[in-house]
Amino acid sequence: MKQVLFYTRNQCGLCEDAKITLKLLQDELGFEIIEIDIEETDELTERFGLMIPVVELDREILQYGQIDYFTLSKRLHEKTR
């Protein structure tokens, strides 16, 4: 099963919206979501601080910031099929 990394932080409205989108796609495509709080390390905060939420699969960022269902769905279908 593929693992999708979901970089997020507390009190992030875009992150909550993205999480709902990811869960809808998870039901459809059957991947695992690994949620990572970027505030746990300085390295992650520096790397993703201005980008979150970030969705990554196989070390490739699929989408960040404003996550939309159709774009993310297309990218995940390409990567998980």
Q: What does the longest C-alpha to C-alpha distance in the chain come to?
A: 34
Give the pLDDT of residue 43. 96
Total number of domains constituting the chain:
1
Domain span at residue 36? 3-80
pLDDT digits (tens, 9 = 90+) for 13-57: 999 999 999 999 999 999 999 999 999 999 999 999 999 999 999
The CATH number assigned to the domain holding 60 equals 3.40.30.10
| CA–CA dist 7, 14 (Å, integer) | 11
